[in-house]
Amino acid sequence: MVKRIMLGVLLCSIVFCGTVFAEQTDEEKAALAAAQSWLQLVDAGKYVESWHQAAGYFKRAITKEQWKQQIQGVRGPLGKQFPER
């Protein structure tokens, strides 16, 4: 009997924890949407526009021209990755 109760508590805990971790906050949803939007620019070959949309930290780390040259060499051969929406 005690084992069944413990098993029930364990299963309830797992289900509860799973739903808590599965829920995304509005901030997480916004961050994910922004990341996907940025990646779609890169996938579409809009490298200069993706540089403009990047964070200041990114832009301070690499110039627009450096980004364009480097990403063309790396991303171009991979082909299209994300489906159009």
Identify the segments of the chain with pLDDT beneath 70.
1-13, 15-22, 80-85
What pLDDT shows up at residue 70? Answer: 92
pTM for the whole structure: 0.62
Average pLDDT, the chain: 81
How far is 63 from 6, CA to CA, in rounded Å? 59
Distance CA 38, CA 61 (A): 17
